[in-house]
Amino acid sequence: MRLRQPGGLVVRRGLSVLSLCLALQPVGALADDLRAALTAAYQTNPDLLAARDNLRATDENVPLARASALPSLAGSVNYNNYIEKGGSSYAFTNPDRMLSATVNLSVPLYSGGSVKNGLRAAKTRVEAGRASLRGTESSVFTNTVTAYMDVIRDAAIVGLQKNNVQVLEINLQATSDRFEIGNVTRTDVAQSRSRLALARASLRQAEANLVASRETYVRVVGHAPGLLEQPPPLAGMPGDVDGAVDYALDNNPDLAAAREQSKAAGFDVKVAAASRKPKVSAVTTSQNVNYLGSSMGGGPNAIGTLVSGVTASIPLFQGGAPAARVRQAEATQSATMEQEIGAERQVIATVRSAWSSWLAAREVIGLNQTAVDAAALSLEGVRAENTVGNRTILNILDAEQELLNAQVQLVTAQRNEYVAGFALLSAMGKAQARDLGLDGGALYDPASNYERVHHRIWDWDSDPAPKAQATATVDTPAQDATIPDQPLP
C-alpha cells in the first residue's frame, strides 16, 4: 500500500543511516507502512470518531430549526368526577362525571424571520462542522506521521547507540590488553571505561525514548508498530512560501470553519431581532365532552365543538429582553469575526514556520551527511595513525563520538524533514483523507448523515443506541525497546 505520488519530493541524501532503522524493529513483527498506519488511524482513532459524532449532532440542528416552521398537533384528555355539588338546582342540572378530549392544531404563518434565519444559521453551522471534521482529520494524520517517524528515528538511534556500546566494549578490552603489556597507560584505560559508561547511559535513554514513541504510536494508530517501512515521497509540496500561504488561505479547514461560524453568528443576530416582531398562527381546536350518562334535566350526554381561527401575538413591551438578545448576538458575532482573523493569522504563521522548518531540515540533511562521511573517514585515519603511535586512545574515542553524533543528527534531520513537510501540507489543507487515497473501503461521507436526517419529522424516529467504535488498546502489551543486534562496522 502506498500513498498517491503525483509529485513532490522526499529525503534524497543520507538514506543509508535512515535505512538502518528499517532493520531495527522487533524480530518477528509484521510489516507496517505509513499508508496502513494512516488507514488504521482514520478508521479507529477516538478523536476522529468523536468529531464525526459531534458533526452528526450538529446535523440535527437543521431539523430542530425546521420544526419551528411546521404545524404542531397536540391533544389532551380530562376526566372529572363531581363528588360534591352546589345547591339543589345546580345538582339537578349538572352531571356527576365528565370526560373531555381536546385536539389543537397550530400552523405558523409568520414568525418575523426567526425560523428562516434560524434554519440558515443551522445549515451554516453544519458547513462549519464539516470543515472542523476535516481539520481533525488533518490533525490526526499529522500526529500519525509524527508518531510513525518518531518510532523510525528512535529505533535507528537505539541501533546506533547499541553499536557504539559494542565498539567501546571492544575498545576497552583492547586497551586493557595493551595496558597489561605496557603499550598504553592507566589513563587510557580510564578514558575508555568512562566513555563506555556514558555510552551505556545514552543507550538506556535512547531505549526509553523508543518505548515512549512506540506507546504514542499505539495511542494514535490503535495497535503496536510492526516492521515500519520507509515512508513514501510527500506529494504536492509547494514551490514557494507565498504560494503555500495563498493555497492555505483558501483551503485550510480550521480557517474555513471559523469563516462559517462567523456567517452563522450573523444569522443569529436576525433571529434575536425577530423577537420584537409579531407572530401569526392559524389555530384549529376540536373538543368533545361526554358526561358518561350522568347528565340530568334532559341535557345532552355528549357535546362536540370545532373552532378555527387566526392568532396574532404582538409584543408591546418585554422589559428590554429583545434588545438585550440583539446586543448579545451582535457581541457574539463580533467575537467570531475576531476569531476568524485569529485563525487566519494562525494559518499564515503555521505555514511559514513549517516551510522554514522543511527547508532547513533539507539543508541540514545534506550537511549532516557530509559530517557523517567526514567523521567516518576521520575515524578510519585516527585508528590507522594510532597503530603507528601518532594518535592516542583519546583521539580514537573522540573520533568515534563525533561519528555517532553526526549519525544521530542525520537520522533526526531526516525525521524532521518528513514531519515538517507533512505539517506544511496539513496547514495548507492538503493532508485530509480525500488527499491521501487511503485503503480500507469508502471514505466517511459527512453529507450522508445530513441527507438522512434533515427532513425527518416523525417524533418517534430514533437511531439505534450508540456504541463505541474506536479500538481499545487496554490489551496491547507494554512496548519495549527490543531491536536486533547490528554487526559492528
In this predicted model, what pLDDT tens digit does every residue of 110-153 receive, in sequence order? 999 999 999 999 999 999 999 999 999 999 999 999 999 999 99
**pLDDT the model gives residue 296:** 62
Is-contact 284 105, C-beta < 8 A? yes
pLDDT bracket for residue 6 (50, 70, 90) = very low
For the chain, the domains span 15-69+120-276+322-453, 71-110+278-314
Mean pLDDT score across all residues of the chain: 87
The cell numbers describing 1, all together, are 500500500
In this predicted model, what pLDDT tens digit does every residue of 17-75 receive, in sequence order? 444 444 444 433 455 889 999 999 999 999 999 999 999 999 999 999 999 999 999 99
Element (H, E) at 308: strand 302-313
Which of 102, 109, 107, 110 lies closest to 307, judged by CA? 102
Do the domains at 15-69+120-276+322-453 and 71-110+278-314 have one common CATH topology? no
**pLDDT the model gives residue 25:** 46
Which CATH architecture best describes the domain 71-110+278-314?
Single Sheet (2.20)
Question: Domain 15-69+120-276+322-453 belongs to what topology?
Answer: Outer membrane efflux proteins (OEP) (1.20.1600)
Is-contact 25 483, C-beta < 8 A? yes
pTM of the entire predicted model? 0.85
